[in-house]
Each structure stands twice: as structure tokens, then as C-alpha cells.
Chain A
Amino acid sequence: MNRSLLNKSILEGRFLLAACTIALLAFCWTRVWLVSQFEMSRFETVIEQFRDWEHFSPVPFEHLVTYTGRVAMAYDEPILLLCVFLWVIARGSDCVSGEIGRGTMEMLLAQPVSRIQVLWSQATVTLAGLALLALTSWLGLYLGVHTNTIEEPRAPVWTIPWLGWQLPDPLAAEEIVRRPMADKVDMTHLIPAAVNLFSLGFFLAGLSSLLSSCDRYRWRTIGLVVGIYIVQLTIKIVGLASEPLAWLCRFSFFTAYEPARFVSIAVYHPESTWSLILRNEVGDWNGLGPLGYNLILLTMGLAAYLGATLIFHRRDLPAPL
């Protein structure tokens, strides 16, 4: 690793990273605030109207009508994903085709630095920024959960004088009390979602770098990554929508991005929070666990980065246009 190259990458990405971090922090806090504004019983009524669409939901509706479930759905929000993907695609696509397109690769590689150093300095900054964004998403939710309160109905009670016993009072009107949201949401349950976000970001950063390493135009690299993203998302949606086409989901990397599901596992099966595979009650295979899915994304990302290194190391560098 070369310190000057790292500094250069930080300098180039600092404004984008700052913008994405601030946007993410604000969005996550706002998302929790919105959750706190809707009383759970009303939300339950609304969500019941969509029972026929439950198969599109990553978690059963019963989990979705908990505060933890509703907060965890922030990780499926397009704005949150946009902030993270903007960073990884912008930086990943810049590493080779961006430098070649701008013509700066000439001067850069005229210095005694290897192509591997050039690529991995960029990758280090991209991945450190990604880790910061994943952490920020969790921190934004944490701040939201710890600064917002929720309204909760409380059954009225009647206290027997001198004895201090409390008995339900069926004649009194139900009272509404405010409680800190932190009483309802254990933030450690949301860590698997943030890790899953990092894993997906890592894969997309690797994919962007791979396409960048064989290209000379950054706009084309970005176009290709966005195209692949849309195709993969469509495959996932079609696979979820149609039972006979459910097999399509296996060919979408979005299948490995299930933050809300991993949060529900952390809530209901804490022993499986970081499992490689899941087992049912009798101990049989019940699919991959959160760690398994994360490892798939991380392995694909690493393979993409290694591919990018190999291609960039061997390719001819075209003269700037």
C-alpha cells in the first residue's frame, strides 16, 4: 500500500463520502422518527390489507408489526441503498476506467508504483468508506431509537387505598403513555442488517472495479453496473412474484441481501444470528444462515477484486483521448 496513493484517493472521494454519510445519518434518524409517529395498532390495520402480498416481504407480517421489524425495514429502503451504492459504484468505477478516461493514469503510472498498488489503494479507501456508511446506517437508527418516544395504550388500573394493590378498571377510558423507543428495540439485533449491507456493498464495489479494470470509459462502466443491478433486481422480483419461477431467485445477488430477515433471526433465534446454515427443530438443513449469505457476497466481491487485479495487471493502457 502506498500512503500517497491512499491520500489521493481520500482527497478524491471525501466530498462524496461526506455527502453520503450525512444523507444516510439523516435518513436513518428520520426513518425511525416516522416509525415512532405511527401507532403500532394502526400500522397493523394498514399492513393487514396487504396480506396477499406477504410473499414479497422478507419477513412474516407478524415480525413487521413489531418496532424492531419496522425499524429493520429501513435497510430495504431505496434511499439508504442509494447512498451506499452511489459511493461504491462511483469509487469502484473510478479506479481504472475513471483514471484512464481522465488521462491521469499516464502520470500516475509514470511513478514507481505498481498497478496493484494503484488498484488496491483505491479499493482500500472505497471499502473503508463503505464500512463507515454501514456503521453510519446503524448509528443513525441507534440515534433515532434513543431520541424518539412511542405512544402506547395502557389499560387503566384502580389502586386499592392503603393496600396498594392494583386492579383493572373496566370503567375508565384507555390511557396513552409515551415510552422511549429504546425500550422496544434492542439495537444489537440490527447489527446483522448493517453487516449484510456492508457485504452487498463489498460485492458491488468489486463488480464495479472489475468492469472498470477492463474498460476505458467510466460512463460505460457505471452504465454496465447499473444495468446488471436492474437485471438482478428484476430477476429477484419475478422469482418472488411467481411460484414456478422461484428458482430465478438463485441467480440474483439480491437473494443474499435479507437484512430484515437476519434481524428477525436475531430476535427470535439469537443462537442463529451468526450461523453459516440454519437448521429446523429436528436438526435438518433449513437453508443458509446470515453468515452464509454474507460469505457468498463477500466471496463474490473478493473474486471480482482479484479478477480486476489480474486484468489491470495484464492489460495495455490506452493513450488518453
Chain B
Amino acid sequence: MIQVEHLTKRYGRFTALEDCCLSVPEGEILGLLGPNGAGKTTLLRLLLGYLRPTSGSATIGGWCCSNHSVQVRRQTTYLPGEVRLFGQMRGREILRFFAEVRPEGNLQRSLKLAERLELALTARVASMSTGMRQKLALVATLAAETPLVILDEPTSNLDPTVRRVVAEIVDEFRQQGRTVLFSSHVLSEVEEVCDRVAFLRAGRLAHVQVMQELKRRHRIQAALSGPLPPPPGELKGELRIRRERPGVFVIETPGELKPLLQWLGTLPLEEINVQSVGLRSLYDRIHDAEPVSAVPPQG
């Protein structure tokens, strides 16, 4: 669905996005993560044809994003991170405008969605609260039945109930086989809805993580009364071991827990704490520039 090849955007000497290569197949929910200024919004704006790339290319559904942006946007619905709507229109007028401006737009669908999100449509946008405006923009965006949905921080300013509904809707999109690009700072949300996560750091695509693999990874914090010996042969290549403080080690495994626990059971354990590796730790590792290679075991 989305094909990004060596995409670069520079503003003078400042590089907002550098040599980004990414491929998103149809039906996938891809999360975009990164701190402010990492290049997430630049990537989205390049995909929508708002910006012209300095080099490289991007296509959506086979259409070039910079030369055929209207065709691209016919297949895409986009919710910007900074939502601003036409202030003098009322909620219903906004939905009618966005339904009419799209060839496949349907006001009834928008109204149903507004009802689902408990959105009042009689007020003028200018007099709506930030959360109400965000909900209105969400309804206008999500009501479009396009193969690709791009959401830039869709749940900012929303209450937990609406956040849950948004997650449900994204899940429905997955079932319908639609592709979703989901940019957010809320890691739990990304973890919940995405199939894959792309991490951007300082304008570069730093890492792409399949969520299914991440969910299998575990981290074990073990306090030993003695030294930690090298792991046995079958575990040696997989484990990442780091000494947290004298006698306390953090061991990460990408695979099955059973062989690791069996090995640890043979050691002089004082305390053990097992938890799954969440997106948080991966995010921190990538953005704190922690080396990715395994720390050698220490006694």
C-alpha cells in the first residue's frame, strides 16, 4: 500500500527526514513512534503531498505522492496532529462539507459515527472545546471509507472512553482489511492497536519492530548470591544480559521462557522478577541510543 524509497526532506541545512525506506502492506496497522522533531509528521506530510521531497520517492497504492497527490488523497483519509476546522461552521455543516467533498463521502455514516462518539453537532466549531473539535475531526476523518487511514496523534485531548472507541474503530479497520498509519506518543495505545511499529529518531528510521515478536520478548531481573556464569550453548546467541548493579542482572530473551528459567533455576538465585518487554523499554533503548548488541556477562 505504502512504498517509501530513500525519502529525504531538507530545509536548507536542517534535515527533517533522511533516507527513509519503509514498506507497508495492505491491511497492516503501522505505528509511528518518535519524540517531537523525529520526523514523523514530515513523513506523513510528504506522503500526503504537502511537502516536496528533496530526494527519494513515496507511493501510495502505486501513485506518486508528490506528482499525483489528488489520486493519493482519494485513497487516503488523514487526521492531522494539530486539528483546526472552519470556525464559522457548525458541527453538522463540517460533516456535510467533508462528506460532500469526497466522491465516496456519506453524511449518514458520519452522523452515525458522531452518535457513537457522543458528539453534539449543533455548536459552531469556534465555540467548541479542544476535545470536541478533536472528536469532530476524528468523525470527519474516520467516516471516509478509504483503503488507507493516516492518523497523527488521534487521541490527544480525548477522554479515556473515546480513546477506547478509537482503538475499537481501528480494530474494525483491520478486520475490513484497511491499512492504518498510526502516529502517537501514547505507547500503550500503539502497543494495543498496531501490527508493526516504526521508530524514528532525528529524522532517520531507527528501527522497525513487529509487535508479535515484541510480545514474545521477556525481561528477567535476577539477584544472585554468586557470579553469573556464561549461558549454555542453546541460549548464548539469543540473550541480552546487562548488569544493573553488583549481583543484579537484567536478562532479555526474544523467545521461549522455559529454557531460560530452567538455566536460571540452576543458579544461586535470591530474587527473580519476570516481565514482558514492552514498547516503553524498546522506545527508551532506541531514543537513549543504548547499544543494541548484548552486554557480555560479568561475574
Contacts and interface: CB of A to CB of B under 8 A. Distances in A.
Interface of A: 2-5, 7-8, 11-12, 102-104, 106-107, 109-114, 314, 316-317, 319-320
Q: Which of A5, A103, A109 has the most CB of B within 10 A?
A: A109
Contacts of B88: 11-12
Interface stretch (B99-107, B224-232, B248-256): B99-107
B218 to A, nearest CB: 40
Q: Which of A5, A8, A107, A320 has the most CB of B within 10 A?
A: A107
A320 B137 CA distance: 16
A319 B16 CA distance: 13
A113 B70 contact: yes
Contacts of B83: 107
A5 B102 CA distance: 11
A111 B98 contact: yes
A110 B80 contact: yes
B74 interface: yes
Contacts of B51: 316-317
Interface string B62-94: 000000011101101111101111111100010
A224 B140 CA distance: 36
B156 interface: no
A236 B88 CA distance: 40
Interface residues of B, number: 35
B70 A114 contact: yes
A314 B70 CA distance: 14
A103 to B, nearest CB: 3
A167 B8 CA distance: 96
Contacts of B263: none
Given A316-B50, A317-B50, A107 B101 contact: no
B100 A106 contact: no
Contacts of B87: 102
B71 to A, nearest CB: 8
A112 B140 CA distance: 14
Contacts of B287: none
Nearest to A112: B74
Contacts of A2: 101
B45 A319 contact: yes
B100 A3 contact: yes
Nearest to A113: B101
Nearest to A101: B84
Given A3-B100, A316-B51, A112 B80 contact: no
